[in-house]
Structure 1
Amino acid sequence: MTSGSSGHSGASGAAESAESAAYWATGLVRIQPGEIALRGYPIEELIGRFSFVDVAWLMVRGELPTKAESRLLEAALTAAVDHGPQAPSIAAARMAATCGVGLNNAVATGVNLLGDVHGGAGQQCLEVLDDVLARAREGRPLSTAVEAVLAEHRYVPGFGHRFHPRDPRRDPLLELVEQARDDGVVAGDHLAAAEEIELHLAEKSTKPIPMNIDGATAVIYGELGFTPELARGLFVLSRSVGILAHAWEEQQAGTRIKGPVPRSVLADYTGPDLRHPPD
């Protein structure tokens, strides 16, 4: 009786242990006492030999990038680091930093503002480019595919900029893509689709509507084989650096409870005139 109970208990314990091990099963990292391996690579063999960008690629893609791929990804991440406190995510992080919260809370405040409208254009642009290329693969000329896709979009993400007549990040990024295409690193299909969209928009407008940072980085992420969802995630990774720096700068200034406008500026009141409650 005792032996049987012991055997049952041992089997139950083994099953529970196996269930626990499978609960958070992951192909990303192997953790054992004295051992850390990322995607199968011992961490000590990555440290000092591969860059942060290399390891970021490894973690989301499963293999290490080539040097040329890493250079292109690094360019996209560098270009999107910051765009000043007029960006809502940056402003929110700076305000949070004056409210007595920790640096991690201030950074999280900024990151959590990166949504579909502010922060999602890169993903949306890559979705448009992928749609164009899918139609082109059906045998349509690229220009026809572009025209068909744009007819379905009132707003084309990744083109034009509310602040810059021509985004200064566009040209250096696209030059790197062109070089990578010529070197056989990438195919150049997303670049061709984006440039065709630029031409189409210019023909329909009284002024050029060039690619902005979201369009240029969408080209890079598409050429490198990242999905639209990961394109947004990589943008968030990049912009987190700027958010961190702004939150830290504001925290060091020692200002307390800094609002969205200077204290001397009061919001316009649009309600009813001053009145008194009835007796």
Structure 2
Amino acid sequence: MSERQKLSPSDWWATSIIEMKPGMIRYRGYAIEDLIGRVGFAEMVYLLTRGELPSKPAAKLLEAAMVAAVDHGPQAPSIAIARMAMTCGVGINNAMASATNVLGDVHGGAGEQCVELFNAVAARLPEGARDAATVDAEMITKAVTEEIEALAARGIKHVPGFGHRFHHLDPRAPRILALVDAAAAEGAVSGLFAAIGRTVEDVIAARRGGKRVPMNIDGATGVVFAELGFPPPLCRGLFVLSRSVGCLAHAWEESQSDYRNKGPIPRDQIWTYTGPGPRKVPE
């Protein structure tokens, strides 16, 4: 019999996240009644995913990143799907689930990919160069250039976290970076990944003949997540948590309308047919 088969029922779902029995609930050792009213939602996210309560500056950065990505309008597939689902007669939880299920590599995954990029650049830096004060711009530029060339060698032309199809300058990114800079000045974060992110933008511009491709929301939140040390796969989950707020709001708003079976295009319009012309079924 394997060790897994020998597990007792109480060890089958062993977890370090929550301890619970009648009259008692503790998260990572903290009693829920002590947490309620004393910590915010972002702090609880950090506690449950990382095991410890964050510092106040770290909590502020995480909350800022999650606030920034809550919604981007019905043109975003996740939001559109939430609204369409509600007109099909499903519950609000079904609409939210349908919406978050499309947050994949293309729509919703760039933050995770961006943190992977930033971490890969940091790994190319000299040993011990792990904060903005111990690494110069030339080192970062060299590491960024090498990593972007490595991406290109793998056929990856679009650098995740940079450029936006709607915003020439994503209004969310400068504000987030300013908060990271303030936290770095206080010593709360290293500032290294903010420097890496800005250097990626510079290197892309140099490779495009001076045409800049500004950092977008995924790049800016990627800076925050990397500064806070979140593993890349968790970063997609953080984005899903954030975007769920927009999915909830849009699903609820759509539920107040009188539309039924609302599709992706208005009913007075029809899609473009690209198949064969009219033809007869063979005898």
Choose which of 20, 36, 49 in structure 1 pairs with 2:38.
49
1:251 counterpart residue number: 255
Secondary structure of the corresponding residue to residue 30 of structure 1:
strand
Q: Establish whether residue 237 from structure 1 lines up as the match of residue 235 from structure 2.
A: no
Q: Which runs of 4+ in 1 moved over 4 A?
A: none
State percent identity of aligned pairs: 54
Q: Distance in 1 between matches of 2:6 and 2:257?
A: 51
Q: Distance in 1 between matches of 2:104 and 2:141?
A: 31
Give the TM-score taking structure 2 as reference length: 0.90
1:227 counterpart residue number: 231
Q: Distance in 2 between matches of 1:151 and 1:79?
A: 30
2:144 counterpart residue number: 146
**Residues 203, 245 of structure 1: CA spacing in aligned structure 2 closer, same or farther, 3 A cutoff?**
same
1:141-180 matches, within 5 Å, as: 141-153=139-151, 154-180=157-183
Q: Distance in 2 between matches of 1:224 and 1:209?
A: 25
Give 1:166's aligned amino acid: L
1:130 counterpart residue number: 119
**Residues 259, 48 of structure 1: CA spacing in aligned structure 2 closer, same or farther, 3 A cutoff?**
same
1:1-279 matches, within 5 Å, as: 19-137=8-126, 141-153=139-151, 154-205=157-208, 206-279=210-283
Give 1:97's aligned amino acid: M
**Residues 129, 18 of structure 1: CA spacing in aligned structure 2 closer, same or farther, 3 A cutoff?**
closer
Shift in Å at residue 137 of structure 1?
2.9
The structure with the largest alpha-carbon Rg is 1
Query: What are the Cα deviations for residues 88-142 of structure 1, in whole angstroms up to 9, with x where unaligned?
Result: 0111111001001010000000000000111000000110010001001358921
Unaligned runs of 5+ in 2: 130-137, 152-156
Q: Distance in 2 between matches of 1:25 and 1:276?
A: 64
Give 1:26's aligned amino acid: T
Q: Distance in 1 between matches of 2:63 and 2:122?
A: 25
Q: Distance in 1 between matches of 2:282 and 2:181?
A: 73
Shift in Å at residue 18 of structure 1?
7.1
Q: Distance in 1 between matches of 2:71 and 2:221?
A: 14
2:135 counterpart residue number: none
Give 1:27's aligned amino acid: S
Shift in Å at residue 278 of structure 1?
3.1
Q: Distance in 2 between matches of 1:18 and 1:155?
A: 47
Secondary structure of the corresponding residue to residue 253 of structure 1:
coil
Give 2:199's aligned amino acid: E
Aligned residues: 264
Give the TM-score taking structure 1 as reference length: 0.92
Q: Distance in 2 between matches of 1:261 and 1:244?
A: 21
Secondary structure of the corresponding residue to residue 261 of structure 1:
coil
Shift in Å at residue 254 of structure 1?
2.6
